[in-house]
Chain A
Amino acid sequence: MITLKVNGKSHSLDISPEVSLLWTIRDHLKLTGTKFGCGKGLCGSCTVQVDGKAERSCQMTVGDVQGKSITTIEGMPETHPLKKAWIKEQVAQCGYCQPGQIMQAAELLSKDKNPSEAKIIKAMDGNFCRCGTYPRIKSAIMLAAKEGRK
């Protein structure tokens, strides 16, 4: 038995520890906000937080995260400054990569309340967006940081 703590809830699953965290989240827990993009940890679409750290869930197994706390996009409160900023800046185009982008940005803001532009770019540089929403992602993070400091 595997126990997964996702978005504050514990789930007991009869799966082997080698099963991918991404597909467990998507197919067993039906939390489909976390996306499959490349399966190699190259694009960032599957980013979730494990104990507050942004991780590529396609590169982790459920065994890796035993006893750890996982947060997916569904676990981010509606009032989270990042979600609000993403809407204010009208970031999403197709929207597919955005949950991963937000989860990546959340780690940055949890460590640095006032990140410089260079720091934002560095933190976000591994998350691809084929629609090219990068400029708006950047401004949304700046806006969220500003709101978070209030």
Chain B
Amino acid sequence: MSTSITRRTFIKIAGLTIAVVSTPSGFDILSGAEAAEEMTKGVNPNVWIKITQDNHVVVTVNKSEMGQGIYTALPMIIADELEADWKQVKFEVAPAADQYKDPVWGSQATGGSSSIRHMYEPLRKAGAAAREMLVTAAASNWKVPAAECEASQGLVKHLPSNRTATYGELSLKAAAVDLPKEPKLKKESQFRYIGTSLPRLDILEKTDGTAKFGIDTIVPDMLYATVSRPYNYGAKVVVVHDAAAHKLKGLQKIFQIDRGVAFCADTLEAAWQAKKSTHIVWGQGTEPAMTNESLEKAFETSLVKDGIIARKDGDAQKTFAKAPQKLDLKYSLPYLSHATMEPMNCTAHVQKERCDIWAPTQNQTGVLMTAQKITGLKPEQIHVHTTYLGGGFGRRFEQDFVEEAVQISKEVGRPVKVIWTREEDMQNDYFRPGNLSHIQAALDEKGNVAAWSHKIVCPSIFARVFPGMMKNGIDNAAVEGLSNMEYEIPNLSVEYVRIDTPVPVGFWRSVGSSHNAFTVESVIDELAHLAKKDPLKFRLGLLGKHPRAQRVLQVAAEKAGWGKPLKKGIGRGIAYHLSFDSYVAQVADIAVNSKDGTIQVKKVVCAVDCGSVVNPDTIKAQMMGGIVMGLSSALKEKIEFARGKAVTENFDTYPLLTMSETPEIEVHIVTSNDKLGGIGEPGVPPVAPAVANALFNATGVRMRSLPMTPEAVVQALKGKKT
């Protein structure tokens, strides 16, 4: 937008607008007029709420939609404080720009189950400010005291005279009103939308096939590209034999980019054909002999090394040494793929003075920086169009697919869509890190937990993604769920051993909690059995100072009928975990086929406390989805490595949970007025240990590694007596 636009014309164009801008100390809200002033200083007046003269409320959403319903939840927060009529509310997707940065992070990104937690307060304030401005405008029109007017469902009403005006009618006048910096927020009892299950604003387009995902981007004159990536990690191209490919119809260009060799063609199939016809000789790579076994060995070797202390209460080792009853255990978890249903893709158009990127991204700031680096253009010349994301789970925080598209478009000078095959997507993932833990835990004479010494060997995500956030060499993601463990254990130590392997690792839905909850909640169960105590009561006894944890455990247990006799052949397990400020407990009922080792999870009862509730139906959906994804990984998923690279390629060897394997799921929201928690991820962690604990309950067999495939269960059942 040109900076020559005047404050007056801006107001006229936009009607009543409110901007939320992130500041070093958090956030600030600005009126359209103030935003216009800022604009004259060269700042773009990007607005978050727009009340148009034709009576629409348009909410700009700065977060990516990947299933979590954020295009509905954020507008709900504004609409409620604004007293908008929900029918007049629309959403718009924010471009990538400083003004849309998350006020807590200072970057525009979606992850860490943070969208509601970070945006709740700014958006409530913005909505309330707009409401007060509309009331002031109406009062001034009618020449009555503002106190006699009330905003309700899209209308301002003068109570004594019953006169009304729509927000659209008031929009222009309200735009000139001074913005109240501390608008009065509603009381929770006055909420109209927050706390109700409003239907998703994106449900229609996601049902009729019109929702545009990244892969659906169509740009005139667009080419397609595919990339050959290294045969094994770190390998560089030595020779490209592409003579045969050059004879193919539709081929445009073959050239090297940072990540390998790009094949650009008129159609995707022609690009694929060219790749197939080309023989690339690759160099050695970082560790060409790397296999599952060599990785396991590397983890084992690291386990005997000294790590960095991430938490130390009392003296766990000394207590363990003298304790009457103890457990000395190893737990391991595999590398996992995100396996978003929409494979990685990106469309870019690099021109001399402009770059457009259409990306299913969780990280707009990252895309902007990536494009800047490759094109040398200024941020204002780069336009990021965030599409719907066909699943994210942390994978789409990365920039690899964006880099490829921008580099290829820059080289060919035309818009280019890069689409990864499933095989490329699975083999070139930033995996959920594999990890290995050594736990020494002990009970005192009374059967109370006296010591827990936990050493984890885990690759670091932060060392690559946020090196500045490594604290004293500790990756918080690796020890998440351990260093913040709530169990009240007098002697507790957590030690982190970082292992660097060639395997790239990244954020995977619920990150460290996704693996550490399995270990902690299984070990707690082992301790409960060692103490001959009920696993629920045992946990409650260790959580005396954590009432929110106790409550979710009690609710899940009660709703599941904990303690009541089980049907023959059914095993029941419980687990709880705190992640992203939300408390989730789950009880799993399972049946095991002792012959073929199949675990059929019959039912999962889930209780969640995430503080204030914006949309209960979305919370239920996210818990359900988290349970399904958590079960899928607990029962089936594992990435295999050979010849220096991930060799698992597609769903035949990386099967996801299907409908027939999905249990009945019951979700109970435990209402509280406590600190807001996230909902996108916390449903995942408790389900794997709940199932493993149920398996123990059913068979007496303890699974200390995942996945609990039929083969692994059969083997464990065979070795039961040893």
A residues within 8 Å of B by Cβ? 19-20, 23, 26-27, 30-40, 42-43, 45, 72-74, 76, 78, 83, 86-87, 90-99, 102, 120-122, 124-138
Contact = CB atoms under 8 A, between A and B. Distances in A.
B: interface residue count bin: 35 or more
- Residue among A19, A91, A138 having the largest count of chain B Cβ atoms under 10 Å: A91
A33 B210 contact: yes
Contact of B651 (A26, A36, A40, A131): A40
Given A45-B341, A128-B658, A129-B341, A95 B651 contact: no
Contact of B629 (A90, A132, A136): A132
Nearest to A43: B651
Nearest to B210: A33
Given A42-B652, A90-B617, A94-B67, A134 B208 contact: no
Interface in B600-630: 617, 621-622, 624-629
B341 A97 contact: yes
A131 B621 CA distance: 9
B650 A40 contact: yes
Interface string B383-407: 0000011111100000000000000
Given A36-B419, A95-B388, A137-B659, A128 B204 contact: no
A37 B422 contact: yes
Contacts, number: 170
Given A27-B268, A94-B388, 20 more contacts: A32-B212, A32-B216, A35-B341, A35-B342, A37-B342, A37-B343, A40-B651, A45-B341, A73-B208, A73-B209, A83-B208, A90-B200, A95-B211, A96-B341, A96-B390, A128-B658, A130-B339, A130-B629, A131-B391, A132-B626
A42 B388 CA distance: 23
A48 to B, nearest CB: 11
B218 interface: yes
Nearest to A128: B656
Interface stretch (B150-158, B368-376, B660-668): B660-668
Contacts of A73: 208-209
- Residue among A27, A36, A40 having the largest count of chain B Cβ atoms under 10 Å: A36
Contacts of B210: 33, 74
- Residue among A30, A37, A74, A124 having the largest count of chain B Cβ atoms under 10 Å: A37
Interface of B: 65-69, 199-200, 202-213, 215-216, 218, 267-269, 339-343, 388-393, 419, 421-423, 617, 621-622, 624-629, 632, 650-652, 656-660, 662, 664-665
Contact of B215 (A35, A129, A132): A35
B662 A132 contact: yes
Chain A at the B interface: SS class: loop
16 contacts: A20-B269, A27-B267, A27-B268, A35-B213, A36-B419, A42-B650, A73-B209, A87-B207, A90-B617, A94-B342, A95-B206, A121-B659, A128-B651, A132-B632, A134-B628, A137-B659
Chain B at the A interface: SS class: loop
Contacts of B664: 135
B342 A38 contact: no
- Residue among A43, A95, A133 having the largest count of chain B Cβ atoms under 10 Å: A95
B269 A35 contact: no
A122 B636 CA distance: 19
Nearest to A100: B341
Contact of B200 (A78, A83, A92): A92
Given A27-B268, A131-B391, A135-B662, A92 B207 contact: yes
A136 B621 contact: yes
Contacts of B341: 35, 37, 43, 45, 94, 96-97, 128-131
A141 to B, nearest CB: 10
B627 A132 contact: yes
Contacts of B202: 92, 95
Nearest to B659: A134
A49 B65 CA distance: 29
A96 B209 contact: no
Nearest to B426: A38
Nearest to A40: B650
Contacts of A134: 628, 658-659, 662
A72 B210 CA distance: 12
B209 A99 contact: yes
- Residue among B199, B206, B632, B657 having the largest count of chain A Cβ atoms under 10 Å: B206
B634 to A, nearest CB: 13
Contacts of B632: 132
Contact of B624 (A20, A39, A125, A135): A135
A128 to B, nearest CB: 5
B651 A125 contact: no
Contact of B660 (A20, A23, A34, A125): A125
B204 A94 contact: no
A1 B632 CA distance: 45
